[in-house]
Chain A
Amino acid sequence: MSVLDIKDLRVSIETEQGSKEILRGVDLTINSDEIHAIMGPNGSGKSTLAYTLAGHPRYTVDGGSITLDGEDVLEMSVDERARAGLFLAMQYPVEIPGVTVSNFLRTAKTAISGEAPRVREWIGDVRGAMEKLRMDPSFGERNVNEGFSGGEKKRHEILQMELLRPRFAVLDETDSGLDVDALRIVSEGVNRIKGETGLGVLLITHYTRILRYIQPDHVHVFVNGRIAEQGGRELADRLEEEGYDRYLKAGV
């Protein structure tokens, strides 16, 4: 049983016009085996929260804390966070020319578990995980994300999650760009991993459709850099009907 604890998190970025505040005091606690959905208008800071958790150098933390089972996450480098069990499925996965998927996966697995996986077992694991996500084995020989379609990139993110077995995963709009079948396949993947490992999930999305497959325990409305309201999954349905006007007018 693990806890990812975010307290009064304040984050800014450097822009050409100077520093810009984006997160204005975020509080969020995620336990193992819980699914938290975050919904909110474009530009409200959802990806900023995701990247800050992963430690992207573009974001400056001005205040607050992030701890993983009491350990100070903000003190950790990007790779240390991943090795501590955090995983970010990115909204825009990055292309890495010349690095094949299979080389990348093996290198990442070795880094996370501290030793090279046993070859035969590993090949089986990769093949099995790809099969479950309906990814053609030929992806293994392709360069990371290079020329992948939007949906293929997202599946590749989930493939990594399946193989790296994190304790907490942030899924930043993993559902965008997926066709109906892929959405189901990816959702089943998330549920399967959660069932097997007790993964805690922070699911950022604009659509309630994915929440039909991945049942959230909590839904948070993210507006203007902070959480404006929390509730159960009925809140998601209401958001879909009413939009965010209510929160924006309230000037949160």
Chain B
Amino acid sequence: MTATETTPAHLATEDRFVPIQTRSERPTSFDPADFGTPTGREVNWRLSDLKRLAPLLVDEETETGAEPAIEYGLAELEAAGLLVESTGHDAAPRGEVFRPEDVVSAIAWKRCENALHIRLPEGQVQEQPVIARLHGTGAERRANAHIVVEAMPGSVGTIVLHHSGSARYAQNLEIIVREGARLTLVSVQDWQDDAVHASAHQAVVGDGAYLKHMVVSFGGGVVRVNPSMRLAGHRAEGEMFGLSFSDSGQHIESQVFMFHEGVETRGDVLYKGALQGEGARSVWIGDVLIGQDATGTDSYEKNQNLVLTDGARADSIPNLEIKTGDIAGAGHASATGRFDDEQLFYLQSRGIEEEEARRLVVIGFLMEIVQKIGVPEIEERLAEAIEEELRRGAGLAPASKAGA
């Protein structure tokens, strides 16, 4: 792995978030100046759409006007009693686990005074998924945010962040899953096509706790959601699922990091992406690290992309690093394919027209992830969005044999 160009002044070594090898050797800092401006050669920017992300690299005051760039629809959270006041950069648990790893994240940290703090109270079982609705009010408008989602010991619940509208939005999401808690967190990027969104998620999962983390991206111009999960506790379990549909001109990126730190942790990473149209891009970089003390680890990561037309490009880079000899199992896989002729043939040989056959195959391909969401409203919205994409793609020529 190439080293980054910058050398931040203060690395966060003294804290709980101990930087570890390779992926986590990545420098962290709360000061944007420490990162400098990325050149596009850095390992974490190499495949990014820096041009369109540029507005998020500027360290300046945001949210100055009376009308917020992002409207936060928090009624459901409020009704469920999950909102906690958080004032100032030092308000705990803000910063308990989060360390900005790039300049956008450091700016978002610095320029967001008051975090949005969502907390599942200790032992509370939240039966219904709770949706926070984040709506961008304009493509030219810029916003920075720090959000903390904290599942207290023994709590159970599902929190959804649904993004719509348009904005230039940098976002940090700090996720703390305390002992024995079971949290599902779904981030849905349902933006308009001119939105620019960069988000850094950092999660820590405690003893016997479980986190299902999902990134669902189908709208937006540039969407960069980089989640990392640290399975810190004994028998911590984590699943990271992702689904993306990149259309012409859309750049959807996820740099995913799963760190097995505790003993007998179990991790599963599965990201699937469909792409269609000229200039459709998806970037997936998946790192799994099994730490020195992570004996009995069970880990798997996979990325699969389905290229529907020529002119689309999927980059997929899985990395697996194991620091202990005593693991239960670890594997990784990455596959980028075009439409499977055999599948299409099979369906067509049963009388199903080509367009309908393609629809079945694409929906089938993505369904594995859709079915894991478990939030009916989001599943329906997603099914609708996929149909919409397919209608848009219907006129495009299928990926040629040599393509993909």
Contacts and interface: CB of A to CB of B under 8 A. Distances in A.
Interface of A: 54-58, 77-79, 81-83, 87-88, 90, 93-99, 103-104, 107-108, 111-112, 143-144, 160, 164
20 contacts: A56-B345, A58-B341, A77-B354, A78-B345, A79-B354, A82-B349, A83-B351, A94-B342, A96-B343, A96-B346, A97-B365, A98-B366, A99-B367, A104-B350, A108-B347, A108-B351, A111-B352, A112-B351, A143-B364, A164-B350
Given A57-B341, A99-B360, A104-B360, A94 B346 contact: yes
Among B345, B351, B367, which residue has the most Cβ atoms of chain A within 10 A? B351
A103 B361 CA distance: 12
Given A56-B345, A88-B349, 14 more contacts: A57-B341, A58-B341, A79-B351, A79-B357, A82-B348, A90-B349, A93-B346, A96-B364, A97-B364, A97-B367, A99-B360, A111-B351, A111-B352, A111-B356
A82 B348 CA distance: 8
A99 B371 CA distance: 12
B368 interface: yes
A97 B368 CA distance: 8
Given A94-B345, A99-B360, A111 B367 contact: no
B354 A96 contact: no
A82 B363 contact: no
**Chain B interface residue number, banded:** 20 to 34
**Interface residues of chain B: helix, strand, loop or mixed (majority):** helix
A58 B349 CA distance: 14
Nearest to A78: B348
B384 interface: no
A112 B348 CA distance: 10
Interface of B: 341-343, 345-354, 356-357, 360-361, 363-368
B360 A79 contact: no
Contacts of A104: 347, 350, 360
A9 to B, nearest CB: 18
Contacts of A143: 364
Given A79-B352, A111-B356, A94 B343 contact: yes
A107 B345 CA distance: 15
Contacts of B353: 79, 111
B104 to A, nearest CB: 35
Contact of B352 (A81, A97, A107): A107
Give the interface centre of A57, A93, A98 by most chain B CB atoms within 10 Å.
A98
Nearest to B363: A98
Nearest to A146: B364
Nearest to A79: B348
B346 A90 contact: yes
Contacts of A55: 349
B345 A164 contact: no
A81 B354 CA distance: 13
Nearest to A82: B351
Contacts of B352: 79, 82, 107-108, 111
Contacts of A97: 364-365, 367-368
Contacts of B342: 94
A159 B361 CA distance: 21
B343, B345, B353: which has the most chain A beta carbons within 10 Å? B345
B306 to A, nearest CB: 11
A99 B346 CA distance: 12
Nearest to A163: B350
A101 to B, nearest CB: 12
A95 B340 CA distance: 11
Nearest to B346: A94
A188 B40 CA distance: 67
Contacts of A164: 350-351
